[in-house]
A = this chain, B = another copy of it.
Amino acid sequence: MDETAGFAQRDEGPAAPSGAAGARHPGRRASMADVARLAGVSSQTVSRVSNGFPGVTEETRRQVLAAMKQIGYRPNSAARALKRGEFRTIGVILFSLSSTGNVRTLEAIAASAAHEGYAITLLPVAVPTQDEVRGAFTRLGELAVDAVIVIMEVHLLDAVTVSLPPNVQVVVADSDAGDRYTVVDTDQVGGTRAAVRHLLDLGHRTVWHLAGPEESFAAQRRAGAWRAALEEAGREVPEPARGDWSAESGYRAGLRLAGEPGCTAVFAANDQMALGLLRALHERGRSVPGDVSVLGFDDIPEAGSFVPPLTTVHQDFAEVGRRCVQGVLRQVRGESPERGTTLVPTRLVVRRSTGAPPAGDR
């Protein structure tokens, strides 16, 4: 608490970079040379102190540190990056931040990266068109990053014929293509399987599915796993309904499903659609879970506050983010060029939207 206002925004530090001498840019940041001059040492010594290198007397170190503090020295990261050939920055390229999963993953990535001393540069792609993606990668090419984490469906990525600069590593979250990149993903198949089994165990004859958009790989995998789980159990596989991940689309699909006779359990591909589904069922006078059981995917924070609280498959996005950073940094450090998919386990969270089917349908 030795400085006054929050952001000092000082026009010129207490001791400005040595008068008019080197002050070309008026508000120029202090450089190592300035510190060196003030402390009466060479700039190399300042560098050593700045990097915590040995071979500096305690006495000298103290003087240098004092000088640094006095003129408010901060290492120039551009010069540092230029010299070292690394930026200590990871680029994250993703589609709009509207999906909870992406955001949570990003959050974890940022936290992990910060912990490792890396910064995050964000590259959102507004519209998932090839042109947009291509543009983002082009920008990325000249961006100051050592590595890239892509949170995206790979099929879009494949369409993009962009070459990254050599030595820029890539990890892809939430996708297939583990054979070509290092991929981190949640165990969607396992989660789906647990979801379906939970409903069948409750006594439902079969489980309907409210799928995500066709072009989404995650949606495909959930739908595929749902089908497989039903077939494995020897149950009938109803025609899946389809939404676009939004609650609104879940509502529309729900209005249809509400009219389906024999539909006593629905597995929605995400929680938002499950929310819309709940609303549709409510409006159609079908009680949940009395008449119909509803099960979601994601476990968004609000899921426990739906009416009724939603049983859903919890995804550990934080862990995905952490592993992405680990993977990409391992590559940066040249430790292992491992490709392949890492699966983060999911967990079924049972709340109150699922129960036994109505007596007649048992």
A76-B82, A78-B82, A279-B305 given. 10 additional CB < 8 A pairs? A7-B180, A8-B164, A9-B170, A78-B81, A81-B144, A82-B82, A103-B103, A121-B122, A275-B305, A279-B306
Q: Does A33 sit at the interface, judged by CB under 8 A?
A: no
Interface centre among A12, A165, A276 (most CB of B within 10 A): A165
Q: Which residues of B have CB within 8 Å of A72? A: 163, 165-166
Do residues A29 and B278 form an inter-chain contact, with CB atoms below 8 A?
no
Q: Top 3 nearest A-B pairs by Cβ distance?
A: A247-B305, A8-B163, A78-B81
Which A residues fall within an 8 A CB radius of B? 1-13, 25, 27-29, 72, 74-79, 81-82, 85, 87, 89, 96-98, 103-104, 106-107, 110-111, 114, 119-124, 126, 139, 141-144, 154, 157-158, 160-167, 170, 180-181, 246-248, 250-251, 272, 275-276, 278-279, 282-283, 301-302, 304-307, 309
Do residues A75 and B142 form an inter-chain contact, with CB atoms below 8 A?
yes
From B11, B87, B283, B302, contact of A166 by CB (8 A):
B11
Do residues A27 and B166 form an inter-chain contact, with CB atoms below 8 A?
yes
Q: Which residues of B have CB within 8 Å of A276? A: 305
In the complex, what residue of chain B is closest to A29 when comparing beta carbons?
B165
Do residues A144 and B8 form an inter-chain contact, with CB atoms below 8 A?
no
Do residues B74 and A25 form an inter-chain contact, with CB atoms below 8 A?
no
Do residues A144 and B247 form an inter-chain contact, with CB atoms below 8 A?
no
Do residues B9 and A166 form an inter-chain contact, with CB atoms below 8 A?
yes
| Distance A248 CA – B278 CA, assembled complex (angstroms) | 18
A272 → chain B closest CB, angstroms: 6
